[in-house]
Structure 1
Amino acid sequence: DIPVEIHWCSHCRVPVLQEVSQADKGICPRCGSKMKYMSTDIRPVFPEERLLLEILLGRKPNEYKDKSVWAVNSRYYIDGKSVSLPKALFKTADVETIAHKLEENKAGNNYDAFNETIQRFVEANNTRLHYLKDEAHEFVKHEAAKFPQENIVISFSGGKDSTATADVVIKALSEPSLVHIFGDTTLEFPYTTEYAKRYREEHPQAIFKVARNNEQVFMDVCEDIGPPARMMRWCCSMFKTGPITRVINSLYRNQQILTFYGIRKSESVSRSKYNRVEDDAESVKIQQQTVASPIFFWKDMDVWLYLLAEKVDFNEAYRLGYDRVGCWCCPNNNQRAQFLSRIYMPERSRQWRDFLIDFAKKIGKPDPEVYVDEGSWKARQGGNGLPAAGSVKIKFSNCTSEEHAKIYRLERPFDDELVGMFVPFGRVAPELGQKLLREVIVLDPRSNVPILSIQPFDHDGYEHAVKVRTMNVADHDDLQRMVGYQIRKFNACRKCLKCESLCRAGAISIAGDYYYIDPDKCVHCKMCMTAKYLDGGCTMDKYLRTK
């Protein structure tokens, strides 16, 4: 993790990345000219985005065709001179007129000058490129040596980082037949879907698995619990982590695997706190894997240097100006990304905005259009205004006739699914309960002593209820707290698949609308009922909690 800076060589007309402490810092390694400081990171601007920039600046189309254009966020460098686009421009620009001008002038656009610039760029950063490749290859070999080759997986998202990671790993291990898992969230850019198809064709020996949640429809879930927000991205576990977990379970059952990810420290504040290799239960979203990141310390410029120098095919969305290509409607997308989607995905963008406005009206926002256009929906927290919010509230009464017994309200009738949710506590033994009362006893997994009694119950004010009594334990309140977590799951479960990802033993599965814990696989670790790993015992508590 060595500090670096990017300098501009006005003679070569390219950025050069150098270590802050190196002796010849500020001297171009290609031509020997003195350079000036530029920024901490940079990305190339492809001809398609350059044409858009010219239109936004009111310049003649293709005016900058022969210039070297680079960018970081909304700041552009045209032959080293800085031009910044105001954020307000992305909100107010006439996207229909811009789209028309782009279509009208794309025929006169070409890659001749851009390709020459990239050749000089690679030559000027050749030392850096060799360092990146050598270091990443050594890292990959070192980590891969700890696992059988068949237990090595590449996480493939279709973005530039996962593309670079996949290429590095395949070349480092000289193994083109590694398992790739592509998490198709159903919210991918069309360009990502096209690229994933191209990648499969270009890597015919790779075992390419697509992880997709075919049981949930994103918009239906949005209607129920509201759209994802920055602090409430329920979509990640439901449409990405959960489906990937299912693919991993189908391939490896309960074996530990090594997954190479394209995570980089400089991407965000949260990712800067990660380690290059993670296997800690609190840090890894899928418990069955150790995560390793060969490009963890790379800058944006490093990724592009690698892809362009190695001539690796990549997602076409980057040519249009997107600097990240996750879900196209992600609440983490900035105004610039939303602006690009209004140009290149106009129909989807209109439909999404219409939905957000309808949602804002439903939860009682006084000015729905402002709420949406200002991006306030991204900061939404909890389930205020949503009927579904009531399902996460644990309602109970203390039993007056039995000590350490609580009567919990249920959203639906007592059934085998609810009984199955008590498997993590120990051995579920219905044969030991009073049959006339439909009582089920749960035995401690170590001592075989009864610790829970469960039975359906009629209670005033509750349409459906269950009575749970704790026994033979030192801390009755702690045990009842975990019981409450399972009751919340039963009432509020939206099949988000978070529990599946959390279970190291692969014991939890969602089959249709049925939440199932396999008693033969469950190791009674109670991670799925521990607030440290699952706040409130159910992910929906975070998304639907109200003040």
Structure 2
Amino acid sequence: MITRLSDIDEVSGKGVCPLCGGSTTYLSSDLRPVFPEERLLTELLLKKEPFSLAKKSLWAQNSRYYSNGKSKSFPSRTFLEADCDALSEKLAELKSRNESDEVKSLFEAQVDRFVRANKTRLNMLIEEAHSFIKREAEKFPIENIVLSFSGGKDSTVTADIVTKALSNPSLVHIFGNTTLEFPMTIEYARRFRENHPYAIFETAINDEQDFMKVCDDIGPPARMMRWCCSMFKTGPITRTLNALYRNQQILTFYGIRHAESVSRSKYNRVEDDKESVKIQKQTVASPIIDWKDIDVWLYILSEKVDFNDAYRLGYDRVGCWCCPNNNQRAQFLSRIYMKERSANWREFLVSFAKKIGKPDAEVYVDSGAWKARQGGNGLPASADVKIRFTNCTAEEHAKNYALVRPFDDSLVNLFVPFGKVSRELGRKILHEVLVLDIRTNVPIISLQPFVVDGFENAVKIRTMNVADHEALQRQIAYQIRKFNACRKCLKCESVCRSGAISITADGYRIDEGKCVHCKMCVNQAVLENGCLMGKYLRTKGGI
């Protein structure tokens, strides 16, 4: 039997099992249950007799498995070199027996012992989480409380525990469908909606972009370049929240946990700082932030909460199925359970590797080196993020910036955050547009279409009547980058608290009536380089 927390003997320092009174043994810093589907696959990988582990207590952490306390670790090459076709055939052959009542009862007996042994632990977790949830929820109107629903186990538990803590089955749930979800996730979201008829369940999806076309343009996502998160998750969720709440501040309960990753280990339980929150209109609260995997499963199995079937197959995370953060074991599982998708994705990656000049494209892909890619090396799109300019010799504090297309109103619109755009006060013979300080109505920026040797299209931008011309020109350069390099990643929509920024098929637009001139969209601390493409497409030699 596996238990995570038990009564501790103060003399010996060892745990005592609350069921039998025996001493417990330390196994691992965290564990997850191995469901019958994954158990059968594990037996095949170990070349053991099918169902030989069915009567044993089987748990795992990453690729290390514990059978009645004895551990066995699979190296990455096991998953890389496995014959997935043969494994698929064998799994199909044994499927009906593995789903029999006899096999299910053996697993359920292990679950029952685990739940009974950790009842005290569960009660403590629930009581503490409920207190936190109620305390934070009191600060917001109930209609401004949102549950972030991804279809993963953590958001599932968060949705359940918040709903119970607030005794409100009608809370708003936002499901961010990235278009790259596991088929099991889409099915689970459908089931969840069906099983929670009183919940307000909204699906946020970016159906204006095609993931593969974007990959072809700016390259596939990598660990340090996950442009897909802004374009297919955060951005669409921002749009949905803006439609529901306009410029209201909301409280969103997330299933973030410190144990998930190094970056998340630094998160605060409540975040509302502009540099820490991805969607500026949100205050983010994380009720289960200090829970381990085993705590999450203790809750799910004890409370009999329905969950995503991908976990039964052995996935330990169920974000995007082709995420660069997925390990070799996750990729191996996808080759079995999503054979066609996996083959097409590998084919694209190999083609991309060849396009950017990798000498051994298949090794580059199969070794996972593509996940460590940084910048836009080898991509034509990388030229768009480089700010090219010349200093104007005729006017002080003026720069001539190269543009990828002719000067037009969409460029002028990008200067709304700096102040009041005046198309009337500029010198009409020069097609000049002025930007006035929002408080004093004094001109601070002049924009003028210009002709410069070496630049097919250009704009002259002069700053005036300001204390720090260099700082203002740096922010201006961010807007030039947006004009030249925007790939509609939707990040700018997420940083705008007032909902003034919209990115549609017609392009990037700032609503002059909604903009409050906070300059978050040109704040380096909030939006690096003023445009995420600056990060994703930069090459050696800078941006």
- Alignment CA distance shift 1:174-1:22 (3 Å): farther
Residues 264/22 of structure 1: CA separation in 2 closer, same or farther (3 Å cut): farther
Distance change (3 Å), C-alpha of 1:20 and 1:32: closer
**Residue of structure 2 in register with 1:240 after alignment:** 233
Q: Does 1:433 align with 2:421?
A: no
Contact 1:18 1:25 survives alignment (8 Å): no
Q: Which residue of 1 aligns with 2:494?
A: 501
Describe the shift of the 1:61–1:499 C-alpha distance in structure 2 as closer, same or farther (beyond 3 A): same
* Aligned residue type for 1:17: L
**Shift in alpha-carbon separation, 1:189–1:38, aligned structure 2, 3 A:** same
Distance 1:22 1:45, change over 3 A: farther
Percent sequence identity over aligned pairs? 70
Q: Encode CA deviations 1:409-439: one digit per residue, 9 max, x unaligned.
A: 1001111110000001100001001112111
Aligned to 1:56: 45
Secondary structure at 2:446 match in 1? strand
Is the partner of 2:16 in helix, strand or coil? coil
Q: Which letter does structure 2 place at the counterpart of 1:457? A: F
Question: Is the aligned partner of 1:16 residue 2:9?
Answer: no
Structure 1 counterpart of 2:116: 123
| Cα deviation code 1:367-393 (max 9, x no counterpart) | 000000000000000000000000000
Letter in 1 for 2:22: S
Match of 2:32 in 1: 43
1:230 equivalenced with 2:231 (yes/no):
no
Distance 1:445 1:18, change over 3 A: farther
Check the 8 A contact 2:34/2:314 in 1, yes or no. Answer: yes
Kindly report which structure 2 residues correspond to 1:380-529, keeping only aligned pairs within 5 A, or say none.
380-529=373-522
Q: Please report how far the alpha carbon of residue 80 of structure 1 lies from its aligned counterpart in structure 2 after TM superposition.
A: 1.3
The one-letter amino acid of 1:76's match is Y
Label 1:212 to 1:479 Cα distance change in 2 as closer, same or farther (>3 A). same
Report deviation, 1:481: 1.1
Structure 1: tracts of 5 or more residues without a match: 1-12
- What TM-score results when the alignment is normalised by the length of structure 2? 0.97
In 2, distance between residues paired with 1:265 and 1:321? 22
> What's the counterpart of residue 333 of structure 1?
326
Match of 1:185 in 2: 178
Q: Return the letter of the residue paired with 2:509.
A: Y
CA change 1:115–1:342 in 2 (3 A) is same
Cα deviation for residue 20 of structure 1 reads 7.3
C-alpha displacement at 1:455, in angstroms?
1.1
Is the 1:495–1:513 contact (alpha carbons within 8 Å) kept by the matching residues of 2? Answer: no
Deviation at 1:151, TM superposition (A): 0.1
Offset at residue 108 of structure 1 (A): 1.3
Residues 21, 254 of structure 1: alpha-carbon distance in 2 compared, 3 angstrom cutoff: farther
Aligned partner of residue 143 in structure 1, secondary structure: helix
CA positional deviation for 1:19: 7.9
Q: How far does the alpha carbon of each residue in 1:514-544 deviate from its partner, in whole angstroms, 9 at most, with x for none?
A: 1111111111111111211111111000000
- Report the alpha carbon displacement of residue 399 of structure 1 after superposing the two structures with TM: 1.3
Q: Which runs of 5+ in 2 are unaligned?
A: none
Q: Distance in 1 between matches of 2:240 and 2:407?
A: 32
The answer to whether the aligner puts 1:100 opposite 2:83 as a matched pair is no
Pick from 127, 132, 152: which aligns with 1:159?
152
> Is the Cα contact below 8 Å between 2:384 and 2:404 reproduced in 1?
yes
1:89 equivalent to 2:78? Answer yes
SS of 1:329's partner is coil
Corresponding residue for 2:57?
68
Task: Classify 1:25/1:127 alpha carbon distance in 2 versus 1 (closer, same or farther; 3 Å).
Answer: farther
Give the 3-state SS of the residue equivalent to 1:16 in structure 2.
coil
Q: 2:6·2:16 contact (CA, 8 Å) conserved in 1?
A: no
Counterpart CA distance in 1 for 2:287 and 2:307 is 18
Contact 1:16–1:28 under 8 Å retained in 2: no
Query: Which amino acid in 2 is paired with 1:90?
Result: F
Structure 2: distance between partners of 1:154 and 1:19: 34
Give the AA of the match of 1:242. G
Aligned pair count?
Answer: 535
How many angstroms apart in 2 are the aligned matches of 1:20 and 1:411? 68
SS of equivalent residue, structure 1 residue 509:
strand
Tell me what 1:200 maps to: 193
Which whole-Å deviations, capped at 9, do the CAs of 1:49-72 have from their partners, x for residues lacking one?
000000000011111111111111
Amino acid in structure 2 at the alignment position of 1:301: I
TM-score by length of 1: 0.96
Does the CA-based 8 Å contact 2:259-2:290 persist in structure 1?
yes
